[in-house]
Amino acid sequence: MATQVKMENVDRISNLPDSILGYILSFLSTKEAVATSILSSKWRYLFALVSNLIGRKVLFFHNTVNINAFRLRCGKRVDSDRVYGWISAAIWRGVKHLGLSISLDNFTLPGVLFTCTTLITLKLETNLVLNVPKDVCLPNLKILHLKSIMFPNDDSVESLVSSCISLVELIICNCSTKKCNISHNSLKVLEIIRSVLYGSLVIDTPALAYFNYTYSVAREYSLKNLQSLIRADIAFLDIRFDSHQTKATAFFEGISNVNILVLSSTSLKLLKCCEPLPIFPKLLHLNLYCDYHNFERGVANLLTDSGRLQSLSFYQEALTNLPERVPQCILYQLKVIEISGFMTNKDCIGKAK
């Protein structure tokens, strides 16, 4: 007869290694994880092993803990010295993913932030003037998001970007700078959104695969070595077209190797100002977000010179202004036509056919 063994009351969870217990606590909120500290002396400081922290005082509870991710959002009522200390503490703990949204007047970021070797992701949103130190070095940073920042010096953006030798994604949103020089060998994603460029925009990124540009026309463009570009989303804001022919030509010639091109109505207007009209020899997919008034002129030439075009997308209203002569690429190469907002209008149906 089998021997029955009476099991004693054993706290098997508490006997697990601290690393496993910390991993279990990582699925709880910070408040819930801290609450486990009252269970026993064993659990008193286990919550500090949680590598993803969204909080403040928890940074100072345990001196040996590394932090995987730290996000901080604070308004003007928070003491700036405390914010400085929280950021510094996260960096000292080897933080890898750092997100800061700070609305403090005259706040200065800790200098150690710009020489942090553990950072992989940095998302920075402040209404501050950012003076980039000369010794800036972020060797492992791969993702950099900058929002609502003013760069006072001509070389600020260039110094910051060039110091991130592993960078693959850069987003600049609502920032202002005199000059924006982005030269990088490994950058794959670049977005410049509603940022004020008082001077020139220089882009030299041979590995760039995606480019999003939403802004008015800069004073000067130099876009080169974009042979790897797969997709470009271009949305110029309201502009005066009569004085931008040279700038427009330089801009669109710089992205002419793109495979997928998305243009706003204003962008198509600007493209038609180019002299000569750029040729897009590798263009496979064209998406036009424009009204019918801006569709006809120049579109025929654009389509004719895009001999490899496979798909075309536009709004239904543009059907009334399609070119009379069907470009060769539509007859022989085009595989997909997508018409948005299509309605049962006889003229439009006839044009579509």
> φ and ψ at 11, to 5 degrees?
-85, 85
Q: Report the pLDDT value the prediction gives residue 49, as an integer from 0 to 100.
A: 56
Q: What residue ranges of the chain have pLDDT lower than 70?
A: 1-10, 29-31, 33-34, 37, 44-65, 238-242, 290-301, 303-305, 316-332, 341-353
The distance in angstroms from the start CA to the end CA of the chain is: 85
- Closest Cα to residue 133, out of 160, 102, 106? 160
Q: Does a structural domain hold residue 5?
A: no
> φ and ψ at 223, to 5 degrees?
-115, 115
The number of folded domains in the chain is 3
Q: Does a structural domain hold residue 81?
A: yes
214 and 274 housed in the same domain: no
Q: Does a structural domain hold residue 40?
A: yes
The range of the structural domain enclosing residue 304 comes to: 258-352
- pTM of the entire structure? 0.79
274 and 216 housed in the same domain: no
79 and 171 housed in the same domain: yes
Q: Does a structural domain hold residue 166?
A: yes
98 and 207 housed in the same domain: yes
Cβ count near 34 (within 10 Å) = 19
159 and 131 housed in the same domain: yes
20 and 79 housed in the same domain: no
Q: Any residues with CB less than 8 A from the CB of 95 and at least 6 apart, and which?
A: 67, 68, 69, 70, 116, 118, 119
Q: Report the pLDDT value the prediction gives residue 120, as an integer from 0 to 100.
A: 97
42 and 94 housed in the same domain: no
93 and 40 housed in the same domain: no
215 and 74 housed in the same domain: yes
Last residue of a domain, one of 26, 53, 80: 53
Q: Does a structural domain hold residue 214?
A: yes
- Closest Cα to residue 67, out of 43, 96, 47, 26? 96
